[in-house]
């Protein structure tokens, strides 16, 4: 059975998708962008504050599902500009200390012209 995950501590889905879905013990998140869930605004200030907001949004979804960053198996990271990789990676490393598998690619444009987006696959405890 597939269970939809929703928390008010992460941005609401603005389309026909869920923040995340759980199937058995696996959790699949939708891509999270740097939207502050309290006011619905894009975080300003560059890649570091945007990456931090993305990680906090992911953390809120993981918590709602009953898991945490240490249970993440795989991340897929999208950057607007690969020149932001080093700064993004510094923020990423603070949250994903167990070093899950990862893909990181630069894309032409992200929703709302943000600088980064991240999705995860995790195990629910």
Identify which of 115, 94, 95, 96 has the alpha carbon closest to the alpha carbon of residue 106.
115
pLDDT given for residue 13 in this prediction = 87
Question: Pick from 39, 47, 41, 71: which is nearest to 58 by CA?
Answer: 71
Domain that residue 100 falls in: 2-123
Q: Say yes or no to pLDDT of 14 above 90.
A: no
Quick one: what percent of the chain has pLDDT higher than 90?
A: 96
Q: Where are the alpha helices (DSSP H) in 1-125?
A: 47-64, 85-95
Active site residue 77: no
Q: Which of 16, 77, 104, 116 is catalytic?
A: 104
When the pLDDT of each residue in the chain is averaged and rounded to a whole number, the result is 97
User: For 66-106, how does the pLDDT look when each residue is reduced to its tens digit (9 = 90+)?
Assistant: 999 999 999 999 999 999 999 999 999 999 999 999 999 99
pLDDT tens sequence across 30-45: 999 999 999 999 999 9
Total domain count for the chain? Answer: 1
Give the pLDDT confidence score for residue 125 in this predicted structure: 86
Rounded to whole angstroms, how far apart are CA atoms 48 and 114? 12
Q: What are phi and psi of 49, to 5 degrees?
A: -65, -30
Tokens 């869930």 correspond to 37
What CATH number is associated with residue 9? 3.30.1330.40
pLDDT above 90 for 15:
no
Per the CB < 8 A criterion, the answer to whether 76 and 112 are in contact is no
């Amino acid at each position: 059975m597939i269970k939809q995950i929703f928390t008010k501590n992460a941005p609401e889905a603005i389309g026909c998708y869920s923040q995340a879905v759980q199937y058995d013990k696996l959790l699949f998140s939708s891509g999270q962008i740097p939207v502050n869930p309290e006011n619905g605004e894009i975080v300003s200030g560059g890649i570091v504050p945007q990456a931090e907001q993305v990680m906090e949004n992911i953390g809120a979804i993981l918590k709602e599902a009953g898991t945490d960053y240490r249970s993440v198996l795989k991340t897929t990271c999208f950057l607007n500009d690969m020149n932001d990789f080093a700064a993004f990676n510094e923020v990423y490393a603070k949250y994903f200390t167990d070093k899950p598998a990862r893909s990181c690619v630069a894309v032409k444009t992200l929703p709302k012209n943000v600088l980064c987006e991240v999705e995860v696959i995790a195990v629910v405890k």
